[in-house]
Amino acid sequence: MLTLYNTQSKRKSAFHPLDARNVRVYVCGPTVYDDIHIGNARPMVVFDVLVRVLRRLYPRVTYARNITDIDDKIIARANKNNESTAELSQRMVVRFHEQMDALGVLPPDKEPLATHHIDAMIALIATLLEKKHAYVAEGHVLFHVPSMPSYGALSQRKREAMLAGARVDVAPYKKDPFDFVLWKPSHKDMPAWPSPWGKGRPGWHIECSAMSNACLGTPFDIHGGGIDLLFPHHENEVAQSCCAFNCTNMAQVWLHNGYIVMNDEKMSKSLGNDVRLCHLLATYPPQTLRYFLLSAHYRQPTPWQEKALKDATRALDTLYEAQARLAAVAPLKDTPDSDTPDSDASISDIQHALADDLNTPLALAHLHRHAKTITKNVTGAPLRAAVRAFRDAQDLLGLVTLSAEDWFQSNTSTTTESIDETFIRSMITQREEARRAKDFQKADELRDTLYQQGIILEDTPQGVQWKRRR
RNA sequence: GGCGCGAUGGCAGAGUGGUUAUGCAGCGGACUGCAAAUCCGUGUACGCCGGUUCGAUUCCGACUCGCGCCUCCA
């Protein structure tokens, strides 16, 4: 059984799909005007784990994650760069895909682009106008919030309370301060699409209503995104979708991840305190970043600090040490479960932890305990459980997916440049000769030389192993 | 101003009404020619004040502090 914390009900409850034959998930993807930062990467990794768990539990899952390739930030950046919005967004999409791939984020089943769904948006807006939930004013089409009595139900805000905030944009053409734009006119330097209301472009929220409906139908099971999207973005999506498609809710479960926090402050590009994923990927192994993002519960605000990546790397070292030993005694791919399939005992504690609202820190704690049983050479049932746990770590968490050799010798590292493997081998051979001759001084000099170049030697019963120093 | 979230050992981070995860770091030991890796041992933490209870870090209330949303935002 899977339980999830629903932002709307503010509690954990058992997940029951609307259609168990096809579980449908939608996650708000990136706006491709610039490289993403580590905080942006969090929902990508977290909901990747969610989808992996859902695939374990249900025969079919349809996962849609959109790309916003038209919006005011993209327009502004493209103009600044002297390129078209299409050129800019396509370039950023390529980079985004490369980075997701590096992080082990599996591609979604559907990845709709906003610019490919303009027709659907226009149709949706027309429906809202027809149903008197929207109106035209000065070239804009606006959603009329008072036309929807239940507006605010998702984020549980009261109209009066929000008005008191006095931070609501009150454009003169709005009938109500909360009305929001569905369609807006484009000016000279802006991309524009023809519509019944003149040439223009969509508002921010409409794309998700149109694309989730196109990809999944409405309502669907799970809608995810960062907590900052709860209001107004998701609230407005609900308004659009429910009013257009006649349903009481757009998605039955709403999941929101917390922020990565920089010095007690939300990490964001507008605050200028963001750490780019591409920079981190140039310095740290991708598995380290993934481990970091899964080492805290997804709903908790999580402090950013460079040290955390060092810790994550060391923790992965421990896991890969165990994995190397496991590979020697019980290859993951070839070891069948000896426990009864489908019995409760055959479900790993990793899976149990993840099924409880994606408790990834607990899952990692379990994994470390299994690693310990492996390095302690325990056999029998505990070893079988460890094999299962490591398999689930790969399949569900997307961790420990490399060979130990690749992990320890990969050259994405803070301290090493690329180095000649032939040279390492020859140094190892020379050192072995010196050791056989009991010339330990020379042997240690050779080892030190390699150490200076970022290579650590280990004398194991199976022979000399080398690792990169981190 | 409104609404919401959080406060756990050096750092990170789960969890639980009573037996106190996990990782990283530290310290002592074993192993090793010396190391590395590994193993063994080692740290009685839960913001403050009340209340409920035989017993609270865990439940309730007040307080303090921090953060977030109400505007673009993962």
The predicted structure's pLDDT at residue A329: 79
The predicted structure's pLDDT at residue A335: 54
Say which nucleotide is closest to residue A269, CA to C1' distance. Answer: B73
Q: What is the dihedral of CA A341, A344, A348, A351, to 10 degrees?
A: 110
CB A12 within 8 A of CB A357: yes
Mention every residue, 6+ apart, whose C-beta is less than 8 A from residue A291: A312, A315, A316, A364, A399
CA of A298 vs C1' of B58, distance in Å? 22
Tell me the β-bridge partners of A456.
Answer: A467
CA of A428 vs C1' of B63, distance in Å? 65
Q: Which chain B positions have some atom within 7 A of a protein CB?
A: 1-6, 11-15, 21-25, 32-40, 66-74
Joined together, the tokens standing for residue A186 give 């484009």
CA of A300 vs C1' of B61, distance in Å? 25
Say which nucleotide is closest to residue A230, CA to C1' distance. Answer: B69
Joined together, the tokens standing for residue A112 give 């709709």
CB A120 within 8 A of CB A214: yes
Helix (H, G, I), strand (E, B) or coil at A221: strand
The predicted structure's pLDDT at residue A330: 65
The residue whose CA lies nearest the C1' of nucleotide B25 is: A311
The predicted structure's pLDDT at residue A270: 86
Cis peptide before A196 (omega within 30 of 0): no
This model of the complex carries an ipTM of 0.95
Joined together, the tokens standing for residue A260 give 């990565």
CA of A37 vs C1' of B16, distance in Å? 36
Which helix (H) or strand (E) covers residue A262, if one does?
A: strand A260-262
The residue whose CA lies nearest the C1' of nucleotide B66 is: A264
Q: What is the dihedral of CA A229, A234, A236, A240, to 10 degrees?
A: 150
Dihedral of alpha carbons A74, A76, A80, A82, sign: positive
Q: What is the dihedral of CA A207, A221, A37, A267, to 10 degrees?
A: 100
Mention every residue, 6+ apart, whose C-beta is less than 8 A from residue A203: A180, A181, A182, A183, A184
Say which nucleotide is closest to residue A322, CA to C1' distance. Answer: B38
Joined together, the tokens standing for residue A77 give 């950046």
CA of A158 vs C1' of B1, distance in Å? 14
The letter for the amino acid at A423 is F
Say which nucleotide is closest to residue A447, CA to C1' distance. Answer: B35
Say which nucleotide is closest to residue A71, CA to C1' distance. Answer: B72
- Per-residue confidence in pLDDT tens, chain A, 470 aa: 899 999 999 889 999 999 999 999 999 999 999 999 999 999 999 999 999 999 999 999 999 999 999 999 999 999 999 999 999 999 999 999 999 999 999 999 999 999 999 999 999 999 999 999 999 999 999 999 999 999 999 998 888 877 765 555 578 888 998 999 999 999 888 999 999 999 999 999 999 999 999 999 999 999 999 999 999 999 999 999 999 999 999 999 999 999 999 988 999 988 889 999 999 999 999 999 999 999 999 999 999 999 999 999 999 999 999 999 998 876 655 555 554 444 556 799 999 999 999 999 999 999 999 999 999 989 899 999 999 999 999 999 999 999 999 999 986 644 445 678 899 999 999 999 999 999 999 999 999 999 998 899 999 988 899 999 88
Q: What letter would DSSP give residue A413?
A: -
List the one residue out of A242, A44, A259 whose CA is nearest residue A147.
Answer: A242
Say which nucleotide is closest to residue A160, CA to C1' distance. Answer: B2
Say what the pTM is.
0.95
CA of A27 vs C1' of B14, distance in Å? 26
Helix (H, G, I), strand (E, B) or coil at A464: strand
Say which nucleotide is closest to residue A316, CA to C1' distance. Answer: B23
* Whole-angstrom distance, CA of residue A284 vs CA of residue A413: 5
CA of A224 vs C1' of B3, distance in Å? 21
The residue whose CA lies nearest the C1' of nucleotide B22 is: A365
Chain-centre distance for alpha carbon A356? 18
A170: exposed, middle or buried (C-beta count within 10 Å: 0-12, 13-18, 19+)?
exposed
The predicted structure's pLDDT at residue A383: 93
Pairing of β A11-14 and β A61-65: unpaired
CA of A215 vs C1' of B62, distance in Å? 50
In this structure, how many other beta carbons lie within 10 angstroms of the beta carbon of residue A450?
20
Joined together, the tokens standing for residue A29 give 């993807």
CA of A316 vs C1' of B41, distance in Å? 24
Say which nucleotide is closest to residue A73, CA to C1' distance. Answer: B72
The predicted structure's pLDDT at residue A415: 44
CA of A439 vs C1' of B34, distance in Å? 12
